[in-house]
Each structure stands twice: as structure tokens, then as C-alpha cells.
Amino acid sequence: MLSQAELIDPQARTLTVRIKRYNPEVDEKPHWEEYKVEADGHDRVLDVIQKVKWEQDDTLSLRRSCAHGVCGSDAMRINGSNGLACKILVKNLRSDTLTLEPILGLPVLKDLIVDMKPFFDHYKSVMPFLVNDEQPPTAERLQSPAERARFDESTKCILCACCTTACPPFWGDRKYVGPAAIVNAHRFIFDSRDRGAAERLEILNDAEGVWRCRTVFNCTSACPRDIKVTQTISEVKRLLMTGNIDLDTAPSVVIGN
Amino acid sequence: MTARSTGRRIRPSGGYELFMWYFMRLSGLALVFLAVGHLFIMHILNNVETINYAFVASRWTAPRTGWIWRLWDASLISLAVIHGFNGLRQVLYEYLSAGGRIVAGTVTWALTAVFIGAGGYSILMFQPDEGFIKEHPLKIERTTEISSASAPPASQPISVAR
């Protein structure tokens, strides 16, 4: 709980906001621009950017939609690490300089907006949907709480691309499916109702699949949903080796809580 | 509620990249013991200043334990070279297209073979040069026999630890 004093005096600061700007119609290559913004400690980085756009330079382009950490459209590189601009508070910034760049590894369209198509192509390549050709039951396909908990971690993904574009192997090799696609494959591979595991694993056993992962852990620290991304990738690797899909071992989830 | 133990089995996958990934884990684990053990013997149990040709020769040709040291050193060089060059290959793969990857894979494996060939030949085929050992004798009486690793001979000055 915030005290009354904190609410009244919320650590206001003057931020120097450095934004990597790029307008494909004018610029040959991206350049930096600086803005001064008076920010409240409880402002989000997104509020700071919108102050720039609304009060100083309306040519600044960015993606945002829900602004509450659910839609995942305002992923960007904030002071060198990936995150959602709507989830980071000004009071949590270490310095008074706020550096903003588009996420790395995807083609920049304008300013902070990148082309997400390569990212979603990788996502689609792992069949991120339920595969089950068995006769459906008259009611739902039932699942125990333990079975549901098994893949709970990977259901949290909002496809913001923070993990994939924080991944050094992905920066070098754009054909690598990337952490986000593996998380979403994990979500169905470990679902007791799904029968497409073998097909997905064949895709992920490719040289551009899970084996490009070098456990850098950038994905895990970048994830705004706190998904243990590196762990899900490792679970897929282990499964590839053993062939054993354990459907109710969810070490990190307490059931019935 | 009691959770029913469930699970499905599918055919374990195989393949080059999977095998090399597993190899990296196992060799990494083995190298921790081999490399740290090697450093411990060479730098803590023995003073580096006493390590010379005769020292190595006495280890490798010791009647009972010689084969252990040769096996140790051969494993150390083989695992380290494969582990290192496979790591290099993985990094190179990130920056290369399909054609470049074939070149990188071939070159790293060729270098792996050359280094293991040269190192393995030296270690396993080693025959001591008695004349050279006479000119440059052991600086300590016994080397790696831990049972005799008590106080060094009085004539042997103990150098300052660094």
C-alpha cells in the first residue's frame, strides 16, 4: 500500500528522453532525438512517451493499445532491456535519462514500430493450436487441475516479442524460431488434450529449433509476464531427448491455491 | 484432490543437433572434474616450477598409474577440443547461411580432428627420452603419488606461494 505522503509527493523528476527515430521517407538511417519531460514517479514509461507525442513532437510513432500490460503492443527496448512501456514506472528507472529504441532483430518500419510479421511467421510455424483428431466427447475434453497446471506457465504469453527480440541467437539468426514460438509450442505439447506433440517436436528438433538456444536467459528476464521462458525451452529439449511427456509435473505451480 | 499421474510417451527424437547438445552437457560435466583436477595437481599439489619434461615423463611412464594419467590427459584434450569447437560452430551458425554453415561445420570438425590427432598421438605414443631426462632431471623426488607427497627433500627449496 502506498502511504498518503507518497501519493501526494510522488518523486517527480525531469527525464531526458532519448528516442531512436527513423522515418523511412526522409531518413537514410535511424538517428537519436532528445526530449525533456516532467514526469511523475507513478507515471509509466508509456505516459512519458505520450507526453512527448502529445506535447512536443506529434510525428513520433509507436504502437500501444490497452496500455495495461495485456495486449503486448508497446514492447520496446527501454534503457537497453526489453519491456512493455506500460508496465515500467518512472520511479523504478535508475537514471534520469530514459533511452528508448525499437526492439531488435525485426525490421524497423518507423520510430518505435517494427514489422512483426517474421515474429508471427515463427509463431505460426509451431502449430499453436489444439491438434486432436480423436472422436470428441459429447461434453468438454476433461482435464485435471494438475494437468491444467502443467502448461499454465506458457499460457501466459501475450506475444509481445520481448523475449524473442532479446535473444542474442535470434539477433544473429533470424531463421531461429525464437523463445516465444517455443513457449507457445510448449503450451500445446504439455496439454493433455493435445495430440500434435510429435509433429511440433519434429519442427523444434530442427537446426533452427530449440537447439539454437544457448540458455542466455535474456528471454526470461525480458518477459513482462514473468514466464520462465528458458525453463520452458529446456523442458522441450528434455522431452525431445527422453520422449516422455510428463503431463502433471508442474514444479512451479501450487495447485488449489 | 489427488492428482492422477498422467503422461504420454512419444518416440524420443534423435539427430545431430540433439546429440551435440547432450554431448555438451555431459562433456561439460566431465571437464569440470578433469580440468579442475588437472589444475589442482599441476598448480597446487605440485609447484609449477617443478614441472618439466621429466615430470611429465615420470607420470606417463609410471608402472602402475601411467595409463591413468595418459587416459586422463587424452580425455581432457578430446573432450575439451570437441566441446570448444562445437561451441564455436554453434556461434558461427548464427551468423551464416546454409552454405556457410557447411563450411563452418567442416572446418571446425577438421580442426577438431587435427588437434585430437596431434594431442592423442603425443599422449598415447609417448616414449621418454632418457638422455634428455638425465640432463634435465626431476626437480622433486616423487611427483604425483599422493601417498608420498609429504615433505619435499630438505635440499629442495620451497618457493613462495603465489
Q: Which tens digit of pLDDT belongs to each residue from B64-105?
A: 999 999 999 999 999 999 999 999 999 999 999 889 999 999
Which grid coordinates are listed for A61?
A: 510513432
* Residue predicted with more confidence, B7 or B26: B26
For chain A, which residues lie within 8 Å of any Cβ of chain B, measuring from their own Cβ? Answer: 144-147, 168-169, 172-173, 176, 192, 197-198, 201-202, 205-207, 209, 211-212, 214, 237, 240-248, 255-256
Split into its structural domains, chain B has a count of: 1
Residue B72: inside a domain, yes or no?
yes
Residue with cell 527513423: A22
Residue B43: inside a domain, yes or no?
yes
pLDDT at A56: 97
Residue B32: inside a domain, yes or no?
yes
The whole-model pTM stands at: 0.84
Using a CB-CB distance cutoff of 8 angstroms, which residues of chain A are in contact with residue B26? none
pLDDT at A12: 85
Domain range enclosing B128: 15-149
Residue B156: inside a domain, yes or no?
no
Instruction: Report the distance separating Cα A227 and Cα A237, nearest Å.
Output: 17
Nearest CA in chain A to B89: A212
Select the residue of B1, B5, B8 nearest A245 (Cβ to Cβ).
Answer: B8
pLDDT at A250: 55
Nearest chain B Cα distance for residue A169, angstroms = 6
Residue B86: inside a domain, yes or no?
yes
List, in sequence order, every residue forming a beta bridge with A76; answer none if it has no partner: A83
Percent of chain A exceeding pLDDT 70 equals 92
Q: Is B41 exposed, middle or buried (0-12, 13-18, 19+ CB in 10 A)?
A: middle
Q: How many Cβ atoms from other residues are within 10 Å of residue A180's Cβ?
A: 29
Instruction: Compute the average pLDDT of residues A221-240.
Output: 95
Residue with cell 493499445: A65
Residue B154: inside a domain, yes or no?
no
pLDDT at B2: 42
Q: Rounded to whole angstroms, what are the CA distances from A143 to A152, A156, B95?
A: 13, 18, 43
Residue B91: inside a domain, yes or no?
yes
Instruction: Compute the average pLDDT of residues B116-132.
Output: 93
